[in-house]
């Protein structure tokens, strides 16, 4: 049975009024609901299919614009993070999709309203419903308003330290992994200074110095990234 209060609460989070509430209700309709009710003729699985594709494009475009200096590897990993089931379920909870779901009594009893997979599917279906009802511009504005809150999470997770970024660049451009060559080791034992050069496919790159080999390698990677124009 449709919970009109829950439906109104969900609508309050959405960017514009639905012209066709039937689309919204279909997006909230779990397949189990059809077995016990005749007021709906279709579940949300077809909308979920479309919403998945729309969401993938919208997230990719947002990342492309938001992080203009980041390489393809960073963008790919960030997109995968943002569209993972737990994350989409988190977005669904933020806009209170759970109470608006149409479920069978059995699914209700097993806690489906809080199940990540169910919430994720409904969120994707909702994206498709907004698209069909209001167009792509509205979808993009809605999705981007959610993604804007995720920027810090993305940077914390994928703003890789220099050696990882250099390796990612090398692999992304068909090169072997960077090799770090010890050029010199100077100073007394208690104040050693290491000079190390990063090399990719026998191409010498940045030379870094540090009191440990690890610090010198990191410094070499930083200088190599600058040489390659990777910021």
Candidate CATH numbers 3.30.160.20, 3.30.70.3040, 3.40.50.720, 3.20.20.140; the one for domain 162-227: 3.30.160.20
Portions of the chain given CATH number 1.10.1520.10: 4-158
Low-confidence stretches of the chain (pLDDT beneath 70): 156-160, 231
| pLDDT computed for residue 136 by the predictor | 96
How far is it, in rounded angstroms, from Cα 86 to Cα 52? 14
Pairing of strands 193-200, 179-186: antiparallel
pLDDT for residue 161: 74
Residue 213 burial (10 A CB sphere; 0-12, 13-18, 19+): middle
Span(s) in the chain for CATH 3.30.160.20: 162-227
**Catalytic annotation present for 202:** no
Q: Please report the pLDDT score of residue 16 as a whole number.
A: 80
Active-site residue flag, 124: yes
pLDDT of 51-85, one tens digit each?
999 999 999 999 999 988 788 888 888 899 899 99
Contact assessment for residue 83 and residue 146, using Cβ atoms and an 8 Å cutoff? no
| Interior angle at CA 187, CA 186 and CA 190, nearest 5 | 125
pLDDT in tens, 2-24: 788 999 999 999 988 899 999 99
pLDDT at residue 158, rounded to an integer: 65
Between CA 82 and CA 85 the distance in angstroms is 9
pLDDT at 177: 93
Tell me if 33 sits within 8 A of 40, measured CB to CB.
yes
Catalytic-labelled residue, pool 43, 48, 107, 124: 124
The token duo for 176 is 């072997």
Which residue in 7, 48, 52, 168 is the catalytic one? 52
Instruction: Name the token pair of 154.
Output: 């993305």
Q: Output the pLDDT for position 105.
A: 92
Model pLDDT, residue 149? 85
Q: Output the pLDDT for position 229.
A: 87
Residue 160 confidence (pLDDT)? 59
CATH of 4-158, one of 1.10.1520.10, 3.30.750.24, 2.30.110.10, 3.40.50.1950: 1.10.1520.10
Q: What pTM was computed for the model?
A: 0.70
- The CA-CA-CA angle for residues 134, 85, 56, to 5°, reads 45
β-bridge mates for residue 21, sequence order:
none
């Amino acid at each position: 049975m449709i919970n009109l209060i829950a439906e109104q609460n969900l609508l309050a989070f959405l960017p514009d009024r639905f012209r066709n509430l039937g689309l919204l209700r279909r997006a909230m309709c779990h397949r189990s609901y059809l077995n016990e009710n005749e007021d709906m003729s279709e579940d949300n699985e077809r909308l979920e299919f479309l919403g998945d594709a729309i969401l993938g494009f919208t997230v990719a475009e947002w990342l492309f614009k938001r992080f203009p200096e980041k390489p393809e590897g960073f963008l790919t990993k960030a997109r995968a993070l943002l569209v993972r089931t737990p994350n989409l379920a988190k977005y669904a909870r933020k806009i209170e999709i759970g109470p608006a779901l149409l479920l069978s009594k059995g699914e209700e009893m097993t806690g489906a309203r809080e199940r990540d997979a169910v919430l994720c599917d409904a969120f994707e279906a909702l994206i498709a419903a907004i698209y069909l009802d209001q167009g792509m511009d509205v979808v993009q504005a809605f999705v981007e308003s959610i993604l804007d809150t995720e920027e810090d999470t993305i940077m914390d997770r994928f703003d890789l330290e220099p050696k990882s970024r250099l390796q990612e660049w090398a692999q992304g451009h068909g090169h072997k992994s960077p090799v770090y060559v010890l050029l010199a080791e100077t100073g007394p034992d208690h104040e050693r200074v290491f000079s190390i050069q990063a090399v990719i496919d026998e191409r010498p790159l940045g030379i870094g110095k540090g009191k440990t080999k690890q610090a010198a390698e990191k410094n070499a990677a930083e200088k190599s990234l600058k040489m390659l124009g990777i910021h």
